[in-house]
Structure formats: C-alpha cells, structure tokens
Structure 1
Amino acid sequence: MKNKKIVFLGAGAMAEAIVRGLVDKEVVTPANIAMKNNSNTERLQELNARYGTSIACQQDLDNADIVVLAMKPKDIAEVLQAHPLKDGIAVISVLAGVSIATIEKYAGKRPIARLMPNTSATIGCSTSGATFNDAVTPKLQHDFTQLFEAIGTVEIVTEEQMHAVTALAGSGPAYMYYLIECYEKAGVALGLDVETARDLMINTMMGAAEMLKRTGEDPAVLREKVTSYKGTTFAALEVLREHHVDDIIKASTKANADRSREFGKLYD
C-alpha cells in the first residue's frame, strides 16, 4: 500500500484524521498523498508542512490509484464534474448520507467504498463502518480495509446497515460525552467536585469497555456480576428500568437512523 497514490478531494478535519493515520502508521508514503480543496491554499500548505503531503494538481488526480471524497456532501456533483476521474481509479467516500448509487452517478461505475468514521478518528480511535459496491474485488477490499484501520477499527456491513452504523458508532461519541455530562452532574449533586466526578466516570467507562474486549463476555453477564440482589448497583439499575432507559435508547438511535435516510435522499 505504501506506493499507492492517493488524492483527497477535501481537506477538512476527517480528511486530516485519515492522512494522520496513514502517515503515522506508515501505511502510505507521505509523498504519495496529495490533497485538494476549493480555495483554501493556506490550509493545504499547513497540512503539507505537518504531514509531508502535497497540494494536488490535475496530474496527481489523473495518476491516482485512489481518490478520497471528503468534501461537503452537497458539493459532490460540482467537484466531480469539475474533476472527472479517469477509468481505473478507485473511490473512497466519507460523505455522510451519500449513497454508492449517487457516487456512481457522478463518478461513473468503478470500485467504490463508503466509510462512516466517527470523530475519534482524530486520535486514531475511530469505530467505523464500511461498505463496498460490486466492483470492489477481494484484494481491493483488503487494501481498503488496511487504509481504514489506520484510523481505528472497522466493521464491514451492507449499505442499508450504514444507517445503523451512523446511529450507533457515527454519533456514538456524542452519546458517551452526554452520559459523562450527566454523571458529572450526579457526582456534583452527591458532593464531588466536577473534575473528580469526570475522572471517575472516564476511567470507569474505559475499564468497563476493556473488560468487554478482554473477556469477550456478554455485557448482560458482566452487569450481573456487578449487581448484588438488593444492593447499591441493583437500586440504581431499578431506577433506570423504571424510567425505561432501554426504550429511550432505542427511540433515539431510530431517530438518528431515520434522519440518516432522510439526508441520503437529499443527494440521490
């Protein structure tokens, strides 16, 4: 993969996160990465200085092995009409809500992957979903997956399941931050200062996640091991059940997936 030539159309935070991962993990040589955006040359120069990439010209685009679509979703038609891709160039899209069919409409039939990362990509810890069109060979899927893993973990799903990925992982960091906010307030109400409450919950969340990863046990089993009948944890969980927190989570993630489908229709 190191010698693959990759051009990014778009140079925002997600594009930078992917470039950082590729460079830091030595998946692709920096000299083989070129980036282009609409008008912000200063931003491109900043990325060039930081990662050793270059500012893409038409020759870079024509000679690319992979083009990453990282512009604003609403700009896909304008950008690809201005920069038509030669045959044989594969496409990776990180455009939320833009279907493979829509990408094919503007980029033509070619190998296409859709990637749904989350904001933890900026520290190499994204949980991403990926899906491919039928032009992606097993070898190319392997290469794509290697690229995706430069910013974290990846789950291969169907395109229809990408809405669920958006609802769980794409927006997932916001849910975790909201929970931390809530428990911070609860800790303060119980007499802790906010910094102590935050540290307690961050480290508790990290420890629980690591337990799930290392043991491979079902979360319900691990929950039961922590919960003594009529004990303190039991009392807290009873309140969560009484308020139907599981139904609230189902409803909120469904609202997210429904909105994802709505956004997708905007670009069809």
Structure 2
Amino acid sequence: MKIVCVGAGSMAESMIHGWINKRIMKPEEISVMNRSDQDRLEFLHDEYGVNIVCAEKTELRDADFILLAMKPKDVEVALKGIREKLTGDTVIVSVAAGVSIETIQKHVGDFAVARAMPNTSAQIGKSATGVAWSKFVTKEQQHLLRKLLSSIGGVTVVEEDQLHAVTGIAGSGPAYLYYFAESMVQAGIDNGLSSADAKKLVRQTFDGAAEMLQQEDFGELRKRVTSPNGTTAAGLQALYDNDFKRIVGDCVTSAATRSRELGKEFE
C-alpha cells in the first residue's frame, strides 16, 4: 500500500507517526509534498524516513491513497496541482474541515473520495476518527481505509453531514480538554499547590478517568464519585450554577457551525 500526503502539517505528521509506530506502513510506502515549505518536507524525511515527492510527482500515479492534509482554503489549489497525475484506482482522503466530497469531485471528477476527521492523538494511536465516503469508494477500498484509520485509533463511520458534529467533538475536542487541564492546574496553584504537583495530579486524574470512561456509563461514574453534601458535590454545584453543560454545548456547536461555514466558502 502506498500513500501520498499532500500537505505536511501537524495532522499529516500525527498520522504518519501513528502509521509507522503501529507498523501498519513502512516509511518507504509514504510520500509527502506541499506547496513551498521544503524545510518541513526535509524534517519529515529525516525524522520518519518518508519520501519527498519528486518534481514530476510520479508518486501520485502509484498511490493507493492520497491524503489531503492542508487548510480548507488551500484544497482547490492542491487539487489543481495533482489532478493530471491521478489514476482511477486512487482514493482521495481529505481531512480538511468542512470541504465536501462534492466540492472535491468538482475538481477531480468521479474519483473515489472519502472525508475523515481524525485528531492529533493519532500520533499515539488514540485518535477518535469519523469517516464518510462517496459512492465511488468500493467495499475493498472501504475496508482498507478503515484498516488504515483504525491503526491510529477508533473509527466511526458516519453520514457526511454528521462530520460537522464529529469535528466539533473529536476533531477539536482535544483542545477543549487541554484547556480544561490548564484551568485545573491553575486552580490547583491558586489553592496552594506547586505548578509541578498540580500538573502531575491533573495528568494522573485525566489518565485514570479516561480509562474508567472506557468501561462504564458516563453518568453512572459521575454519580458514584459524588457523595451527598461532599466535596465533589460542592465542585459540581459550581459547574451547574455556571451552566457548564450549556458552555460545552456552545463550544461544540460553534466548532460544528464553523465547519459548515468553511464548506460553504469553498463550494
């Protein structure tokens, strides 16, 4: 299997790292290209052993998958730059937020196109990835794509319109959790802990809670740790009083709305 990554930013690197680390692909089976940042390509080559696409872009003709891993505003230019090199057996997989399968096919024709929304936890094989595909993606190609994405974490197949919600939860979600962790650390410092101790405690708390979430119902876990009139109840009451659920809902909805907006901008 061969993959060409068109775009060489953090998401592409996270996926490359995951594929190689999980031994789903060999470095020599992966090629990378971008518009102008040669230093970035050299870094990925030196760090992971992947190939840099040559000037003639012949690697595109042999690719089983072409990963579009750039900002939404750059998708059109990228597709124009590779269109003449594509072959009918190639699957185009886009991780550009909001850009629809229909928009991509306007530029490349009736190719097999899929959209995936992973997150940067792909780097450690823990991505939460949503994927949708066009009618031109065969059953065999669907199987290979799911295998490829499963190597970097969990995969959920959804309808394309649902990818906006996937973006709001999984694609952007790690940033929300990191911000929550930062806030907990600061609260710990404000209540007398050293920065080092607060970070250690927050990391272990998140790690343990994440493991528990894999095993039991979320609400039941919350109830079990919340004793009436206890410390946890007092802390949760502050969240209730400040309408924490609405804040989280607004957060996810805002990201999903922006995903829809991006799609309309490039239709």
The answer to whether TM tops 0.5 is yes
The residue aligned with 1:189 is: 190
Amino acid of the residue matched to residue 90 of structure 2? I
Q: Between Structure 1 and Structure 2, how many residues are aligned?
A: 263
Q: Distance in 1 between matches of 2:253 and 2:17?
A: 33
Alpha carbons 1:34, 1:56 under 8 Å: kept: yes
Question: In structure 2, what is the Cα distance between the partners aligned to 1:205 and 1:45?
Answer: 35
Structure 2 SS opposite 1:237: helix
Partner Cα distance (2:48, 2:41) in 1: 11
- Residue in structure 2 matching 1:12, options 9, 14, 31: 9
| Closer, same or farther: CA 227–72 of 1 in aligned 2, 3 Å | closer
Distance 1:160 1:243 in 2: 31
Question: Could you say what secondary structure the match of 1:211 adopts?
Answer: helix
Deviation at 1:102, TM superposition (A): 0.8
Instruction: List runs of 5+ in structure 1 lacking aligned partners.
Output: none
Q: Deviations over 1:70-119 (max 9, x none)?
A: 23322222222222122221111111111111111112212211111222
CA deviations 1:52-81 (Å, max 9, x no partner) are: 222223221122221111233222222222
CA shift for structure 1 position 146: 1.3
Tell me what 2:217 maps to: 218
In structure 2, stretches of 5+ residues that fail to align are none
Question: In the aligned structure 2, how far is the partner of 1:32 from the partner of 1:243?
Answer: 51
Partner in structure 2 of residue 71 of structure 1: 70
Residue 25 of structure 2 aligns with an amino acid whose one-letter code is V
Alpha-carbon distance in 1 for matches of 2:13, 2:47: 10
Of residues 87-96 and 49-58 in structure 1, the stretch that sits farther from structure 2 once superposed is 49-58
Q: Note the C-alpha offset of 1:192.
A: 1.1
Equivalent position SS for 2:129:
strand
Are residues 256 and 105 of structure 1, via their aligned partners in 2, closer, same or farther at CA, if it must alter by over 3 Å?
A: same
Are positions 1:199 and 2:196 aligned together? no
Where does residue 107 of structure 1 map in the other structure?
108
TM-score w.r.t. length of structure 2: 0.92
In structure 2, the residue matched to 1:174 is: 175
Matches within 5 A, 1:35-74: 35-57=32-54, 58-74=57-73
Alpha-carbon offset, residue 8 of structure 1: 1.5
Q: Structure 2 vs 1, CA of residues 125 and 242 (structure 1 numbering), >3 Å: closer, same or farther?
A: same
User: Do the aligned residues in 2 keep the contact of 1:17 with 1:124 (CA within 8 Å)?
Assistant: no
Distance 1:242 1:103, change over 3 A: same
Q: Where in structure 2 are the equivalents of 1:100-179 lying within 5 Å?
A: 100-179=101-180
CA distance in 1 between counterparts of 2:9 and 2:246 reads 36
Whichever residue aligns with residue 69 of structure 2, its letter is A
Secondary structure (helix, strand or coil) at the match of 1:161 reads helix
Contact (CA 8 Å) 2:122, 2:153: kept in 1 or not?
yes
User: What is the distance in 2 between the residues matched to 1:72 and 1:237?
Assistant: 38
